[in-house]
Amino acid sequence: MSDAKTTMGRPVYLPVPSDVPEPAEGCDVCAALVRQRAEARACGDFSAVSDRNVELAAHPHRKDAGRKSS
């Protein structure tokens, strides 16, 4: 007989998905990324949706949010 393991492995715990980044008002780059994200979602390309979310989150407008210029 075989000594193969037939029990299940330990469970995988995934984090809660992060919030969807919002575009900065009046930014053409952000608007284009939002359009591309919507097109990707409509086609079922969730990898591209994730890529657009990363780009939106890393866009320079996001880093300056909440800062006041002196």
Confidence (pLDDT) at 33: 97
At residue 66, the pLDDT reads 47
- Residues 52, 40: contact at Cβ < 8 Å? yes
Residue 23 has what pLDDT? 93
Q: What is the pLDDT of residue 68?
A: 43
Three-state SS letters, the chain: CCCCCCCCCCCCCCCCCCCCCCCCCCCHHHHHHHHHHHHHHHHCCHHHHHHHHHHHHHCHHHHCCCCCCC
Per-residue pLDDT of the chain (70 residues; tens, 9 = 90+): 567 777 888 999 988 888 899 999 999 999 999 999 999 999 999 999 999 999 999 988 755 544 444 3
Domain containing 39: what range?
Answer: 28-63
In a domain, 49, yes or no: yes
Domain presence at residue 58: yes
